[in-house]
Amino acid sequence: MTCAHIIGSAATRCGRFADATVAGLAIEALDGALADAGPDTGRIEAIFFANALSGLMTGQECVRGQIALRHSRYGGIPTVNVENACASGSTALHLASIAIESGLYETVAVVGSEKMSHPDKRRPIQALAGAADVDLLADAPEDHSVFMDSYAERARARIERNGWSPADFARVVVKNRRHAVHNPGAQFRAAMTVDEVLSSRMITAPLTLPMCSPIGDGAAALIVTGAPNGAAAPIRIRASALSATGGPAPGSVVQRASVAAREQSGLSAEDVDVIEVHDATASAELEAYEHLGLAATGEGNRLIVEGKTVLGGALPVNTGGGLLSRGHPVGATGVLQIVELVAQLRGRAGERQVDLEPRLALAQNAGGFVEGDNAVAVITVLERER
């Protein structure tokens, strides 16, 4: 069976860029990934283009990738548009992996690009609401994030059920800001203390502003192939598992994806060397620890206190700063996670490089909300082959 390998990766900076466009960001990221792959890269036969919000941000509901790339050197390449809320980027990589492993294509590109900042600050909040059941949001305020409300409700339940405190969530921010200090592409790079996080503006109790992923713009891209042909430091996609909420299967959507990824790879989250999780809020990172099996239910907060998930710890998490600090341009986030892990596996992460020589990495990307759970989750396991 043909194995999919990543041979090129690149990302733009994340932030609020008044003059940025989905097209410009995507082309910048694709150019960087192709250059990283090297001059011997084969012809790009297809592009999997992830974008979640352009339909509601600009009205470009259809053919987003074709419109974005038509005047570039990528114009004319068969393009598949992928929308799966905040998991759009990882879903695009999932589809690209299938296309490579099936033998349909030899080399493809994956790109996630999102322009979220807007002069009307209500616009991205309203657009993001489309990742939930809009029939249930008729009375929701237009200037308030239903997603932050949902995460906050789950955070309050953790406090009540497990005896946690808002300081547990603040420690997540402190950790991820500490990592982002060394990431030149991150949206927020200033270190923070627990007290500073707790005293910041409240969004929805107990979540303060730094505990919530920011509105921002950005893009990332990957070159994926079934024929590495001597490419420098190819990274094998050892597992790619996609799950959805609902149905009779037990567990959360992330737990279901974790089980499927373990069946594909023979590995659990405990077996890898570095992890990216979907910290749309600080509380979501602690929840992810438990759903990935890194901690027992109710004990996810202990991992940061004990130093396990901090750079220098046994299993660093979100080394680039995560969504909270690197930024969360939603259609690009799943690809941005993989770009960070590829840099770690290749030993190219600079001052945020994990201490050991990592060989295995895992990304957890989630999106949407349906009846108290994420609508979709993707788990990707990567391996640096010896």
Residue 27 in domain: yes
| Predicted confidence band of residue 246 (pLDDT cuts 50, 70, 90) | confident
* Pairwise CA distance, residues 150 & 70, whole Å: 38
22 vs 143 pLDDT, higher one: 22
For residues 28 and 159, membership in a common domain is answered with: no
For residues 13 and 142, membership in a common domain is answered with: no
Domain count, the chain: 2
For residues 166 and 244, membership in a common domain is answered with: yes
| Predicted confidence band of residue 136 (pLDDT cuts 50, 70, 90) | low
pTM attached to this predicted model: 0.96
For residues 209 and 225, membership in a common domain is answered with: no
What is the pLDDT at residue 319? 98
Catalytic sites, residue numbers: 86, 328
For residues 84 and 157, membership in a common domain is answered with: no
For residues 59 and 140, membership in a common domain is answered with: no
What CATH number is attached to the domain comprising 31? Answer: 3.40.47.10
State the DSSP code for 350: G
Structural domain for 184, as ranges: 133-213+239-384
Residue 321 in domain: yes
For residues 138 and 270, membership in a common domain is answered with: yes
Q: If DSSP codes are grouped into helix, strand and coil, which group holds residue 153?
A: helix
pLDDT of residue 348 exceeding 80: yes
pLDDT of residue 230 exceeding 80: no
Where helices occur in the chain by DSSP H, the ranges are 22-37, 54-57, 64-69, 88-101, 122-128, 146-162, 166-180, 194-198, 253-265, 282-291, 302-305, 322-326, 330-345
